[in-house]
Amino acid sequence: MDKVTSQRLSLAEWAVLCLLHEEDEPTYGLILVGLLDRGGSLGRVWTVPRAIVYRALRRLTALGLIQELGEQRSSVGPVRWLYQISPAGRERATAWLSSPVEHPRDVRSELLVKLALLDRGGVDTRDLLRAQLARLLPAAAALDGHLRAAAGFDRTLVLWRHEAITATVRFLEALIAQQEAPAPARA
């Protein structure tokens, strides 16, 4: 495994990388900041502060996943840097977007970010949703067994996890059903 593929990225770094992935043209860090701000289209799901966006851009550049194309001076503001995804970055972003999250606790953040990014690109998410459901069902079944055997605070903790994963499974099943339902006829 090479240096780039062995490096773990934070969710903020993945979001920045994937936003650059969806752009056909180079873009500015400030545009990414706006998309990930509280009022931005992705900020509704996962807010990333300005400083973290710029830190992500530096790290992604150092890893060779994006390229800094140069600066543009302006008489009405600071120097702006142009960024573009590299072929290695495009490959990593595509693989990450199509992979289910590893742990049930990451569904709220990581999976929703992936779904939001894929929706922005008009990508069908049913394969990802099915893969995510398949990943969670064994964990849900294991929690059923743990719940029957747990006592005291352990039972409280297992019950919390059981209810959370049960709700997540229902959410995924409903989303899959919604996407597979025929579109309503227009009058």
pLDDT digit string (tens) for 152-171? 999 999 999 999 999 999 99
Q: Which pTM does this prediction carry?
A: 0.86
CA triplet 114, 115, 120: central angle to 5 degrees? 100
Length of the chain equals: 187
> Does 132 score more than 50 pLDDT?
yes
Q: What is the pLDDT of residue 1?
A: 47
78 φψ region: left (φ > 0), alpha (ψ -120 to 50), beta (else): beta
Question: Rounded CA gap, 129 and 14, in Å?
Answer: 19
- SS3 (DSSP) at 133: helix
Q: What is the CATH number of domain 3-98?
A: 1.10.10.10
- SS3 (DSSP) at 85: strand
pLDDT digit string (tens) for 14-72? 999 999 999 878 999 999 999 999 999 999 999 999 999 999 999 999 999 999 988 77
Instruction: Report, as an integer, the average pLDDT of 82-95.
Output: 96
3-state helix, strand, coil in the chain (%, to 5): 65, 10, 30
Q: What is the pLDDT of residue 109?
A: 93
Positive or negative: CA dihedral 89, 115, 165, 160 = positive
* Contact between 176 and 126 (Cβ < 8 Å): yes
Hey, what are 152's tokens?
């005291």
Domain ranges of the chain: 3-98, 126-180
